[in-house]
Amino acid sequence: MTENYTPAADREDAVESLRLWAEKYSADNGHSPLAFVHSYGCQQNVSDGEKIKGMLAKVGYDFTDDTDSAQLILLNTCAVRENAEDRVFGNIGNFKKLKEQNRELVIGICGCMAQQKHVAEKIKASYRQVDLVFGTFAYNDMYSMLWEVISKHKRLFNQSEACTEIDESMTQLREDKVRAFLPIMYGCNNFCTYCIVPYVRGRERSRKPEAVIAEVRSLVEQGYKEITLLGQNVNSYEYGFPALLREIDKIEGKYRIRFMSSHPKDATKELIDAIIDCEHVCTHLHLPVQAGSNRVLKAMNRRYTVEKYMEMIDYARSRVPDFSFTTDLIVGFPGETYEEFCETKEVIKRVKYDNIYSFVYSRRSGTPAAKFEDHVTDKQKGLWLRELLLEQREITSEWFGRFVGRTVEVLVEGEGRTGEGWLTGKNDENIIVEVKADKKYIGEFVRVRITKAMNWALSGELVSE
């Protein structure tokens, strides 16, 4: 039976029922029911996936990376680019055989992609192996929905658009014990013409500062070394983002604070000052420009000009001459000409980004830009992208040279690409640094004297304390 979900069970009753079911499953099978949870896309999605795992652990699930052994498969999806959707549908198709082999297997799709009604209808009609589909506003209903699927063998679909209160009781089950993602707000009010996020994430809702500060303090006490504050636009945090950074910075301990994303229309000198003044906040700003043409920016509904954007760059560089910037760029936005694309190349030359994250425009159904006329072929856009990346490679090769001879602090993340015995991590500016050192340093801060700059990373020597 397939139906749209309406709240039918008390949340606590569902929690208790799932706990009892998990206990019986464990007694009968010698192990807890296993869940395969995979998140696609951005850091916000990764954070949501960690909360989903925390919810499932609360009722007795354990976790597996093997779909063949799972009693629950849950894909937490992304809707930003088309290839992410294609991967999800490909995986759903592959799960059909698993469902035929195990009729008790529960297969669920959640997150941004699942919030879209046309996606839910496609799954409902063509992917009968999927039992549960719920969007970004339905996490509070997950226990009740899951229990109905398990106990009544229903197929449930929930694309509710009702914004619920932020549940501060949810515990994230973090696998990484060194770096943590911490959302400070949800949703977006910007409605860039190419972006589906406001439609699938809803309007902005900010967490209270005291809740954010308490969570940061707890993570620092647990030994986390790097905490990334998340929001679709942290600069529109309701209670003042620069003020939040300064309050967090007062927490004692050895840790770093990063954040993303930062919308240029709301970036201020107060933000730059807070980044530079705060001891724990990394001296790096990811400031997505998206395009170097004012006409294209207007068509994107970005609500700033290149001149306004450069004011923030120039102010930061007036305080720290080599302040680190990275950015996002869309190549081949509908209607963009080659001459306008060349304006984007001029921006990256002027700014000297440490890195760019650039993509060919991806059409998203339901956004205004999906209806814009577009006369440039995908092949041509691909050539533009290659041209942009080659330009950035030259900039990076030269700009990274400013670090040679300096000693920088690096949070070591794992084994490096350079070769046997090399470790990799990132410095304060979020640049990859490779260093030859013992694996005991993984997860720790080390000091590295930079001896070489490449077009993708720095390398250096471990400095003894």
Does residue 205 contact residue 186 with C-beta atoms inside 8 Å? Answer: yes
Mean per-residue pLDDT, 360-389: 95
Give residue 192's pLDDT. 97
Give residue 436's pLDDT. 95
DSSP string, 326-380: EEEEEES-TT--HHHHHHHHHHHHHHT-SEEEEEE----TTSGGGGS---S-HHH
Give residue 398's pLDDT. 96
Question: 140: pLDDT confidence band, cut at 50, 70 and 90?
Answer: confident
Mean per-residue pLDDT, 52-58: 96
- 9 pLDDT exceeds 60? no
- Taking alpha carbons only, the member of 423, 399, 397 closest to residue 411 is 423
The token duo for 284 is 């790096």
Q: Which amino acid is at 209?
A: P
Residue 20 CB contacts under 8 Å (≥ 6 apart), including other chains: none
- Tell me if 223 is assigned to some domain: yes
Q: Which amino acid is at 463?
A: V
- 180 pLDDT exceeds 70? yes
Q: Indicate whether 388 and 415 sit together in one domain.
A: no
- 381 pLDDT exceeds 60? yes
CA dihedral 407, 413, 417, 420 (to 10 degrees): 90
Looking up residue 198, the CATH number of its domain turns out to be: 3.30.750.210
- Tell me if 165 is assigned to some domain: no
Give residue 172's pLDDT. 85
Give residue 3's pLDDT. 59
- 437 pLDDT exceeds 90? yes
Q: Indicate whether 111 and 134 sit together in one domain.
A: yes
- 464 pLDDT exceeds 80? no
Give residue 138's pLDDT. 87
Does residue 120 contact residue 138 with C-beta atoms inside 8 Å? Answer: no
> Using CA atoms, how far apart are residues 188 and 201, in angstroms rounded to an integer?
7
Does residue 299 contact residue 339 with C-beta atoms inside 8 Å? Answer: no
The token duo for 416 is 């490096």
- 7 pLDDT exceeds 70? no
Give the model confidence (pLDDT) of 63-106 as tens digits.
Answer: 999 999 999 999 999 887 777 778 888 889 889 999 999 999 99
Does residue 410 contact residue 429 with C-beta atoms inside 8 Å? Answer: no
Question: Cα dist. 75→6, 189, 331, 438 in Å?
Answer: 22, 26, 29, 37
- Where a domain ends, among 351, 367, 401? 401
| Residue 282 is labelled as binding a ligand | no
- What sign does the CA torsion over 58, 248, 203, 289 have? negative
Question: 8: pLDDT confidence band, cut at 50, 70 and 90?
Answer: low
Question: Cα dist. 300→50, 96, 202, 368 in Å?
Answer: 32, 40, 19, 9
- Tell me if 373 is assigned to some domain: yes
| Residue 78 is labelled as binding a ligand | yes
> Residue 62: phi, psi to the nearest 5?
-110, 180
Give the model confidence (pLDDT) of 254-271 as tens digits.
Answer: 999 999 999 999 999 999
- Tell me if 166 is assigned to some domain: no
Q: Indicate whether 347 and 200 sit together in one domain.
A: no
Q: Indicate whether 154 and 6 sit together in one domain.
A: yes
Give the model confidence (pLDDT) of 404-427 as tens digits.
Answer: 999 999 999 999 988 899 999 999
- Where a domain ends, among 263, 282, 301? 282
Give residue 5's pLDDT. 61
Q: Indicate whether 423 and 376 sit together in one domain.
A: no
Give residue 165's pLDDT. 65
Q: How many CB atoms lie within 10 A of CB 340?
A: 18
Mean pLDDT of the chain: 93
Does residue 187 contact residue 205 with C-beta atoms inside 8 Å? Answer: yes
How many CA atoms lie within 13 Å of 358's alpha carbon, on the beta-carbon side? Answer: 26
Q: Indicate whether 24 and 51 sit together in one domain.
A: yes
| Residue 42 is labelled as binding a ligand | yes
> Using CA atoms, how far apart are residues 285 and 274, in angstroms rounded to an integer?
11
Give residue 139's pLDDT. 86
- Tell me if 365 is assigned to some domain: yes
179-183: strand order across its sheet: 179-183, 226-230, 256-260
Q: What residues make up the domain containing 128?
A: 2-158
**Angle in degrees, CA 54, 55, 56, rounded to 5:** 90
Q: Indicate whether 154 and 22 sit together in one domain.
A: yes
Query: Structurally, how many domains does the chain consist of?
Result: 4
- 293 pLDDT exceeds 60? yes
**Angle in degrees, CA 52, 260, 75, rounded to 5:** 25
- 167 pLDDT exceeds 90? no
Q: Indicate whether 107 and 230 sit together in one domain.
A: no
CA dihedral 200, 268, 411, 168 (to 10 degrees): -40
Q: Indicate whether 243 and 371 sit together in one domain.
A: no
User: For residue 198, with 0-12 CB atoms within 10 Å meaning exposed, 13-18 middle and 19 or more buried, which class applies?
Assistant: middle
Q: Indicate whether 222 and 277 sit together in one domain.
A: yes
Question: 6: pLDDT confidence band, cut at 50, 70 and 90?
Answer: low
Give residue 81's pLDDT. 73
> Residue 179: phi, psi to the nearest 5?
-115, 140
- Taking alpha carbons only, the member of 76, 50, 61, 74 closest to residue 18 is 61
Q: Indicate whether 355 and 410 sit together in one domain.
A: no
Give residue 83's pLDDT. 72
> Using CA atoms, how far apart are residues 143 and 55, in angstroms rounded to an integer?
8
Looking up residue 299, the CATH number of its domain turns out to be: 3.30.750.200
- 345 pLDDT exceeds 90? yes
- Tell me if 240 is assigned to some domain: yes
Give residue 159's pLDDT. 86
Looking up residue 123, the CATH number of its domain turns out to be: 3.40.50.280
- Tell me if 236 is assigned to some domain: yes
- 307 pLDDT exceeds 60? yes
Q: Indicate whether 24 and 151 sit together in one domain.
A: yes
Does residue 104 contact residue 67 with C-beta atoms inside 8 Å? Answer: no
- Tell me if 132 is assigned to some domain: yes
Question: Cα dist. 333→64, 317, 381 in Å?
Answer: 40, 29, 9
Give residue 170's pLDDT. 77
Q: Is the peptide bond before 261 cis (omega within 30 degrees of 0)?
A: yes
- Where a domain ends, among 254, 282, 310? 282
